[in-house]
Amino acid sequence: MAQHFVDARYSTSHVVGRDQYYTFVQLGSGPEASNPLPSTLSFNDAPIYLLSPHFSGRKDELDRIGMVFGMSHGDAPTRCAIFGMPGMGKTQLILQYAKLSYNRQQYSIILWISGATIEKLNQGLAKVLTLIGHPDRDHPEQSIRLTSTRRWLEDSGVNSPLKWLLIVDNIAMEVVDFLKEHLPRTNCSGNILMTTRTEAVAEAVATVAGQRQFVFELRAPDLRQATKQLLDEAGICIGDGSSSSTAEAEALVERVGLLPLAISHAASFAKQSHKNLGDVLALYQSNHIYELISWKDDLSSYEKKSVAITFATQLVELQRQSPVCSNFLTVLSFFDPESIPVNMIVEGAEEWLRQPDDILCQTDDALTHHSKLQSLIALIQSPVYLQLAIQQLQHLSLVGYESTKDISVLRIHDLIRVTIQEYARTEDTQWFHVAVALVCGAYQHVSDPESLTCWARCEMLHPHIQSLTKWDDEHAVGDFELNRVNFGLAKYLRCRGRYSEAETLSVWVLAGREKLLGPEHPETLLAIIELAITFILQEQFNKAESLLEQALTANEKILGAEHPNTLKTVHNLAWTYSLQRRVSEAETLYGRALAGREKLLGPDHQDTLTTVHNLAIIYDKRGEYSEAEKLYRRSLTGTEKLLGPEHAHTLQTAECLAFTYEHQERYIEAEMLHQRALLGKEKVLGPEHPETLLTVHHLAWSYYLQERYTEADTLFCRALAGQERTLGHEQRDTLDTVHDIACCYESQGLYTEAEILYQRALAGKEKVLGPEHQDTLRTVHRLACCYNSRGLYTEAEALYQRALTGREKALGPEHKDTLNTVNCLALSYYKHGRRAEAETLLCHVLAFQERTLGHEHLDTLDTVCDIAWCYQLQQLYTEAEILYQRVLVGREKVLGPEHRDTLSTVHMLAWCYNSRGLYTEAEALYQRALAGREKVLGPEHKDTLKTVHDLAFSYDKQGRCAEAETLFCRVLEG
């Protein structure tokens, strides 16, 4: 069940370089030491084994690429994009360039990435870290690995002779924005070579800062070059006892449209079948081939006459040689063609053997296909027969195969894949369902897609599930098992922070279930909840709330008010309300969910404890810390028992309990819990994981609250450096850390340093979150406070007004944060000499707080204290004294006589007495404040010394010079 803690702020095999291993060493110190440099770095990752040994020609194109990369574009890598129709030989061309340029030592590193889908780009860019042995190569957060790859490419070779070439092959239209975001933007030591099918995509990826770099079209070779390619690859020497003629060779290459890929496959077929070119040409010219293929309307007629015919010929020959291998290839064609793990297929077959009827029941004629299915599964289950089948497919150039000690993968060229599927489409969807069953069987090994331990397998299965989903969509199949697997995959994507992908997939799952099962089926309602959770995490609360209310109504109607799915909906709706600060509504729903779960699941079930945790957050927000503490302790004890003391949920609850302690100024207890959480996360996640760095931030804040600024600054700097390195400079957690460092500087009177950081945090939050987001307005408010402390009242008032307008709009005019801004604006008015406006604002706030919170609420007393301070500055000591006495009585009652806020009120009341010449009364209060502050804060705390100073001043006014001198000397020494 998807359960989320409200307080969470944002809650494979390794293939090394083909030439050599290398390791990282740390060089020097200073900023560059955080970006380790390789001690030996030289490899060519391009799949040179795919390059035809008979590659020839294309000299002009190779020279053109070389000329392009000889030019400079300032500090940016040079980009070159090649476009052309499928089968034109773009990949062969760039493979040849990679081989030649590496052999000539033009590059130290050549990297190869597929641009066919965002998923492939994700995997390819992340694989770079494995190839270079980067410390972040096994990092669980994909966004961090992408950032590390880009930064490494931007930094590598800047101060060294290292030069790199990044090749992105077969770029699709839908990946352009993603690719442009993650390509390196600086470093003239690198070049980027790209291929794609259309000119529009080529121009898009080759355009940098509004200027197009190098784009050219790869056209078909001339007849002479094409004929030479055919004869070389077929191993035919015209005139040397051969029954083939140059005319037949020319006719054949023209028949396939002069496409290099089609020519290569025609040559392979002729060679493997031992047929002469006349026989092959006759087959290509027969009508039979057209009966096998049905191309989509968006394909050009040129391709219909060339590539399709070539691949169909290979398929006919395979069907003749081995029907079971042909069926195996058909099943493979439904997977992602670039990397099909053999182990995935084998695991799927093992699961199929346990439940064979799951496949057969989805076909129109199960008995007809039973024999074919049994033969196919037997082939997959036999290591010997499976290997022989792979070799047979390799011989016909229908698949590529690569095996290491860790993994074996198959590859099918996209054009072959399309041809196979079009051929299979003339029968029925039998083999598609088999492919789905194999992937679903492999997915059975994913026990929990939300668990970090299952993420590697989810990532491996993702492109194949994505490929099957696309085919299901295009052919309106409606396979429910595929829908079920996508439901789990959406959870995985959500947990990895890939919210856009998760949302798209969740929408697809929901639409499929509505069609297959109906809008009120329990499985459909679960899909609604999952989509709502994705919206919540993107702060799209209105959409989430609408979906959850819809699901709740239906669940109550169909399953009943106490069904687990109903209670799950109630819980998540409460979560939505809580994040919108609708605390009362959230509390009501959490109470309902808790009562239901305790009754149905028991008091110690994980779902029950999750609701307990979230209800504690509500109490904490309302200042009911005792109740919050009880619930947190219950949740912590139960979670420790169920999941263990180092589980993420356990550590998160420990941190939330620490926050409640901090709100009660129980800093030592809070510090211990933060340290526990930090040790646990460092052990489980590592010191650089974002969640670990977030806990470092929390511990730093705990030190800040205790005014242990040196320790706080050390931890803040650690958190910030790690977040900038792993998340980037403009990520939300990074900006929050910048904001809180500014708070730390401001509290120490370092206003200039604080202002610079507040401005950085504000600029970043406006860009990432928007100008009216509550986190943005929080920084606006704090920057205004900083200006106010520097006496820049005009600037401060402008920012206070902006924060006030935004908070009134989003939270309402009577929300606590809104009233806090009103208070600060009033005090700024007062300092600026606008006393009447200040008093009007403060009295408005006080009247509301007395009406809604009560006369003794701490927020009410804070406002009374502010008004007293204003009177004090006007030398209206009698009026100030009356208000300070009210505050003192209230704080003694609520906080106790030795609380630092109570002692502050004692001090201010003493100051009023002293100003009125009531020295005896003043001295008694100063002595009380001094004794209390020495006990609570220590004898050298700045507030303690402030009391010592004012008491000395009082003695001096009374002529008690010796006593005054002693105290003044103490202040100077402190």
Return the SS3 of 818. Answer: helix
Rounded to whole angstroms, the Cα distance separating 678 from 697 reads: 10
Residue 348 to residues 218, 334, 403, 434, 856: CA-CA distances in angstroms?
A: 41, 14, 19, 10, 67
For residue 13, is pLDDT > 60? no
**821 inside domain:** yes
At which of 779, 798, 833 does a domain end? 833
Same domain, 314 and 165: no
Tracing tokens 């699941």 back to the chain, one arrives at 601
**CATH number of the domain within which 108 lies:** 3.40.50.300
Residue 177, in any domain of the structure: yes
CB 343 within 8 A of CB 435: no
What average pLDDT is seen over the chain? 84
Q: Which of 11-25, 122-136, 174-188, 692-706 comes out lowest in average pLDDT?
A: 11-25
Let me know the angle formed at the C-alpha of 94 by 89 and 99, rounded to the nearest 5 degrees.
Answer: 125
Using the Cα atoms of residue 104, residue 106, residue 111 and residue 115 in order, give the sign of their dihedral: negative
Give 398 or 303, the one with higher predicted confidence.
Answer: 398
Q: Is residue 205 located within the same domain as residue 251?
A: no
Cα radius of gyration rounded to whole Å, the chain? 35
Tell me how far apart the terminal alpha carbons of the chain are, to the nearest angstrom: 58
User: Among 143-147, 495-499, 781-785, whose mean pLDDT is lowest?
Assistant: 495-499
In three-state form (DSSP H/G/I as H, E/B as E, the rest C), the secondary structure along 675-731 is HHHHHHHHHHCCCCCHHHHHHHHHHHHHHHHCCCHHHHHHHHHHHHHHHHHHCCCCC
Q: Is residue 635 predicted with pLDDT exceeding 70?
A: yes
In a domain, 395, yes or no: no
In this prediction, residue 265 carries a pLDDT of: 64
- Edge-first strand listing for the sheet containing 340-341: 340-341, 408-411, 400-403
Q: Is residue 123 part of a domain?
A: yes
> Can you give the pLDDT at residue 220?
82
- Residue 808 located in a structural domain: yes
pLDDT band at residue 425, thresholds of 50, 70 and 90? Answer: low
Quote the crossing angle between the two packed helices 366-381 and 383-395, to the nearest 10°: 100
Among all chains, which residue has been given the structure tokens 């004294």? Answer: 881
Token pair of 666 as six digits: 């129980």
pLDDT on residue 296? 33
pLDDT at 25 exceeding the cut of 50: no
Q: How far apart are CA 472 and CA 486, in angstroms?
A: 12
Extract the runs of DSSP E, i.e. beta strands, from 547-687: none
pLDDT band with cut points at 50, 70 and 90 for residue 442 = very high
Tens digits of residue pLDDT in 449-468: 987 778 889 999 999 999 99
pLDDT at 281 over 80: no
- 359-373, 533-547, 558-572, 812-826, range with the lowest pLDDT: 359-373
Number of domains forming the structure of the chain: 3
Q: Tokens 């450096």 — which residue?
A: 721
Shared domain for 208 and 94, answered yes or no, is yes
Higher pLDDT, 712 or 275: 712
Tell me if 426 is assigned to some domain. Answer: no
Q: Which residue has the higher pLDDT, 313 or 238?
A: 238
- Cα dihedral: 816, 821, 824, 828 (round 10): -160
Burial class (CB in 10 A: 0-12, 13-18, 19+), 522: middle
Q: What is the mean pLDDT of residues 47-60?
A: 81
Q: Are residues 232 and 102 both part of a single domain? A: no
198: pLDDT strictly greater than 80? no
Q: Give pLDDT, residue 686.
A: 87
pLDDT value at residue 288: 37
185 lies in the same domain as 283: no
**Residues across the chain:** 974
Residue of 142 and 523 predicted with greater confidence: 523
- pLDDT tens, residue by residue, 930-954: 999 988 888 988 888 998 898 888 8
CB atoms within 10 A of CB 428: 14
Q: Are 129 and 137 in contact (CB under 8 A)?
A: yes
**Each residue's pLDDT tens digit, 144-161:** 999 999 999 988 866 677
- Which residue, 744, 703, 700, 705, is CA-closest to 719? 700
**Confidence class for position 248, pLDDT limits 50, 70, 90:** confident
Tell me what the mean pLDDT of segment 31-58 comes to.
70
291 within 8 A of 423, measured Cβ to Cβ: no
Position 17 confidence tier, pLDDT thresholds 50, 70, 90: very low
Q: Is residue 329 part of a domain?
A: no
pLDDT value at 639 more than 70? yes
pLDDT band at residue 634 under the 50/70/90 scheme: very high
pLDDT level of residue 426 (50, 70, 90 thresholds): low
Same domain, 55 and 69: yes
Same domain, 150 and 274: no
pLDDT of residue 563: 95
Strand partners, 73: 76
Q: Any idea which residue has 């239209």 for tokens?
A: 173
Q: Name the band, by pLDDT with cuts 50, 70 and 90, for residue 171.
A: very high
End-of-domain residue from the set 804, 833, 862: 833
Q: By the 8 A CB rule, do 158 and 36 touch?
A: no
Would you list the DSSP string of 819-877? HHHHHHHHHHHHHTT-HHHHHHHHHHHHHHHHHHT-TT-HHHHHHHHHHHHHHHHTT-H
Whether the pLDDT of residue 602 is over 90: the answer is: yes
> How many angstroms separate the CA atoms of 79 and 194, rounded?
8
Stated as kind and residue range, the H or E segment containing 27 is none
Mean pLDDT of 764-778: 92
Q: 244-262 as b/e, with b when 16 or more CB fall inside 10 Å?
A: beeebbbbbbebbbbbbbb
Tokens at 507, concatenated: 């929408």
Which CATH number is 771's domain given? 1.25.40.10
Q: 732-747 vs 774-789: helix axis angle to the nearest 10?
A: 20
Q: Is residue 88 domain-shared with residue 54, that is, in the same domain?
A: yes
Instruction: Specify whether 207 is located in the same domain as 302.
Output: no
pLDDT above 90: percentage of residues in the chain: 47
pLDDT at residue number 239? 64
Q: Give yes or no: residues 171 and 315 share one domain.
A: no
**pLDDT tens for residues 544-563?**
999 999 999 999 999 999 99
pTM (2 d.p.): 0.64
The reported pLDDT for the residue numbered 11 is 29
User: 792 lies in a domain?
Assistant: yes
8 A C-beta contact, residue 146 and residue 170: no
Residue 421 predicted with pLDDT over 80:
no
**pLDDT tens digits for range 853-867:** 888 888 889 889 988
Is the pLDDT higher at 470 or at 160? 470
The whole domain housing 749 covers 729-833
Query: Based on the domain organization, do 86 and 160 belong to the same domain?
Result: yes
Name the domain boundary from 805, 833, 861.
Answer: 833
pLDDT higher than 50, residue 298: no
Work out the percent of the chain whose per-residue pLDDT is above 70.
Answer: 88
Q: How many beta carbons lie within 10 A of that of residue 473, not counting itself?
A: 13
Across the range 612-624, mean pLDDT stands at: 91
In this structure, are 162 and 60 located in the same domain?
Answer: yes
What pLDDT does 177 receive? 92
